[in-house]
Amino acid sequence: MEVYLVRHTAVDVEKGICYGQTDVALKEEKEVAFERIKAQLPTTIDFLISSPLSRCTQLSTFLTDNFTTDPRLMECNFGDWEMMAWDDIPRDAMDTWGNDFVYQAPPNGESLHQVYQRVFDVHKELIKLPHANVVIIAHASVVRIFHHIYQNIPLENIFDVKVDYGQVFSFASTK
């Protein structure tokens, strides 16, 4: 099975704002980016699964009218920090989270390890499917977690993996 991971295209959110599970809009020039992404994917997509957030489902709808959404593919929940400027988050709270972001969650949010657990559950289900080409439309942290799964990158180092808006990655998955 070939797994294609795609991060959604650029969002219409001011730079420096913390957003995770907030359903934010895409930038207007999305159709050009959608075409560029489509050109990087196989012509036959056997199964497409997407985060249910509209920034992912818009691309999914562009690619096919037959896709599944799964809330386990949503971005990290930043809890009380959602839609706050990163600079406005209290320094002590940022330090606490930053010192152990794998297991420490923002207030009323989730830790990276919690995101990993739900994404890994999706992965375990996907590898049982009889499909040749699977496309996953998701978010930066989800794409990075798949890098952890397929490339054994430690969770504490996954932010070293650069994941641009609209970027496509592919991995051969063995069962």
Tell me the pTM.
0.95
Residues of the chain with pLDDT under 70: 174-175
Q: What is the pLDDT of residues 117-152, one digit of tens each?
A: 999 999 999 999 999 999 999 999 999 999 999 999
Q: What is the C-alpha separation between 43 and 50, in angstroms, rounded?
A: 18
Q: Which residues touch 93 (CB under 8 Å, ≥6 apart)?
A: 106, 107
Say which residues have a Cβ less than 8 Å from residue 175's Cβ, sequence separation at least 6.
1, 127, 128
At residue 173, the pLDDT reads 79
Q: What is the pLDDT of residue 174?
A: 66
* 44 neighbors 72 (Cβ within 8 angstroms): no
Element (H, E) at 137: strand 133-138
Q: Which domains does the chain show, CATH number per domain? A: 2-172 (3.40.50.1240)
H/E run at residue 3: strand 2-7
